Structure 1
Amino acid sequence: MKSSKISTVMGKMIDTQKLVFEYIRRDEEGNVEGITRAVDGVDLKVEQGQFIAILGHNGSGKSTLAKHFNALLYPTEGEVYVDSYNTEDDDHLWDIRQEAGMVFQNPDNQIIGQVVEEDVGFGPENMGIPTEEIWERVDEALKAVRMDKYRKASPNHLSGGQKQRVSIAGVIAMHPKCIIMDEPTAMLDPNGRREVIRAARALNQVEGITIILITHYMEEVVDADKVFVMDKGSVVMEGTPREIFAQVDKLKELRLGVPQVTLLAHELRQAGVPLPDAILTRKELVEALKKCR
């Protein structure tokens, strides 16, 4: 068994070291038909309290990578540490999953209660938390995602964005240090996407919870502390949003876009308008255009 703690990763919320993960395909008789390397030698470090975004086209390996962050998958090669626990240490599996909660694409797959407050309290109840503290956690979690007025509602009557916020509240109620959001807005309309991203930012900025956001919506990562871009299972770009989105042509090669306002500024710059690189917001574009007069 591997050691649960290692001094070289103390202080890191997530630390992957030469992480490799391979999917093995088998025929009906159990014989190996082929092997697909979905994650290929990834070294990625996330500090406590950061807001991290991971981008990549479909099949780039970003969701497979995310599932290693709370031991839903185990490395084929390399190691993954969550708050300095090795994910392959079975003695600390519960610690890992308590400290690094996961929110998935489809909230219907995560909501199991018939009433919102019961659903949010399900995780703490399974943890053996005393009843009085469970309800305290439910209260604080629902308030954190601005869903407290729906606590007595049936999840079936909520919008997609509201359901996803309930899913997030269920994770918050377990008091994690980190929440991994695996394309949490992929099935939502624009209003629902805004609700969820607003909740994620508030949890990071107000509660200090580390957020790891897996997404293909470029506008969602503008306020991230750091962005990792994946392709063919590897991290091929990393930097601040401004550093990443300054490389419009490289992102196009990777079959990725940029925020609409960034693309507009890029096209204006190519047309001869003297604008700075990587404008990220409409306000920045307006201010830059004023200076061009």
Structure 2
Amino acid sequence: MPAGDYALAVSAKAHPTARKPATRRQKRDRLVAVGFLAPFMILLLIFQYVPLLLMARNSLYDYTLLNPAAEKFVGLRNFTDMIEYDDAATSFGITFLFALGVVFFVIPVAFSLALFLNSKLPSRGLVRTIIMLPVVTSSVVVATMWSFLLDPSNGLVNGVLGILGIGNQPFLTSTSQALAAIIAMTLWQQVGFGAILFLAGLQGLPPELTEAARIDGATRRQVLWNVTIPLLSRTTLFVVVIMTVFSLQAFAPAFLMTQGGPQESTNLIVYHIYNTAFIMQQAGYASALSVALLLVVLAISMAQMALLRSRWNY
């Protein structure tokens, strides 16, 4: 054997898993993939990551949108103002209460709907479409519709209450009812999305587990509590995180239905950021609030990834 061929043979034996050079077709496929991905990546960079960097930079300045050239570097003063003044803490507290209310009601209602949809129903596709219709409807349309429904003078809900002998309720003008009213609206809009997620989890469960439980003499309730719900723990956690993050970013209910009132009882954090930037003309402070909200959402997402790491699958 020639020396060169012998060296190549020894090298191949010594490195059996050595990477082969990319063929012409592989290089062409990579170029095609980059070509398809490039427009999306460019748009993502321009409209998401660059604005995030600008927001982080603006949070260190004090300026107004009417005269942005007169900006003044203040360092971390905007963040210390968030701690010193109670407006941010109050708005975050209201937002967390809103998110807690949404999650508390969405989870059981969505799970019940998923169990209903998972059964043998006639026209199941039509029923699922009806349940998902509010989800795909614009939040502006939903908020406007519910504003008419909950109108304290001539709203449909108060009309029904009047027929039942109950007086008109100040749903959107009462400090004790306004937040509950927008929670109810959000529940109506988002429960279909949670139900579809739970339905996907139910249909992914292995049927042999429930069949084995039935053979062992377990009732339907026992199967539900001891088999179905534990196996849906990851799906439940996913729905909780999705609904929490969605609730933390809610804007349309506070803007269109209550304008943050009465007495700031529905002053959600995104609406508070909007008022701070465009009404009070404190764009730097609004950027600092946005950075704080971003960190909260990232913390929840990281907690989701940590909790979803499970040693078992089905």
Q: TM-score range by the shorter chain?
A: under 0.3
**Radius of gyration: which is bigger?**
2
Between Structure 1 and Structure 2, the one with more helix by share is 2
Between the two structures, name the one with larger relative contact order (CA 8 Å, sep ≥ 6). 2
TM-score, normalised relative to structure 1: 0.27
Between Structure 1 and Structure 2, the one with more strand by share is 1
